[in-house]
Copies of this chain bind each other. A is one copy, B any other.
Amino acid sequence: MTKKIYLAGPEVFLSNAREMLDRKAALAREAGFIPLSPGDLAIPPAATKLEHGCNINAIDEQMMLEADGVIANLTPFRGIAADTGTTYELGFMCALGKHVFAYTNVADNHFTRIMNHYHGIAAPDDEGRYRGPDGLSVENFDMADNLMLHGGVLRRGGSFIVGDAKPDEIYTDLSAFKECLKVAAEKLL
């Protein structure tokens, strides 16, 4: 029984976006899925940049509605947390009751990345909660990103694969993605 899987992630921003999207789609087909990816479909013309952005949102949401599940690439993007477009999409799919899988190519968890962001300068407050010098609390849940993401995946019986790519390959290494595909295929196909 063929299932459609939506491939969410920041690949669309890469200089080799088309190549990476194609490689992921090919791997998804090999695993037995019909892949749906941002960038697959032509975007209707629009008069303004704002409308153009809305048209892309519409296309991507339509693909998510059609998909049976999502594999979300939550590798930290331009900072310490995942790409916000991808996290929106993960929440979208969780709300729809679709099958959800996620991975990251960075082994350091959310707590460690935030501590590094603060150069280690964070200490427990009166309630034992770590806080940075700016007063913001440091999430400490043994999770790969914000608890809504990691918790949302786990609570639905999905898997969150944590890879460990080389620093210059965090957007191109596909080993964690392949592992995600394997788990997804075992569950859905």
Contact = CB atoms under 8 A, between A and B. Distances in A.
A89 interface: yes
On chain A, which size bracket covers the interface? 35 or more
A91 to B, nearest CB: 3
A100 to B, nearest CB: 11
A146 interface: yes
A89 B89 contact: no
B84 A54 contact: no
Contact of A145 (B84, B131, B149): B84
Given A88-B148, A92-B92, A13 B137 contact: yes
Contacts of A88: 87-88, 90-91, 94, 146, 148-149, 152
Nearest to A46: B141
Contacts of A147: 53-54, 56-57, 85
Nearest to A125: B15
B155 A58 contact: yes
Given A92-B94, A148-B85, A140 B15 contact: no
A79 interface: yes
A40 to B, nearest CB: 16
24 contacts: A49-B140, A50-B142, A50-B150, A52-B141, A53-B150, A54-B147, A54-B151, A56-B147, A58-B151, A58-B155, A61-B152, A78-B80, A78-B81, A79-B79, A84-B84, A84-B145, A84-B148, A84-B149, A88-B90, A88-B94, A90-B91, A91-B95, A92-B95, A93-B95
Interface of A: 10, 12-17, 48-50, 52-54, 56-58, 60-61, 64, 78-85, 87-96, 114, 117, 125, 131, 135-137, 139-143, 145-152, 154-155
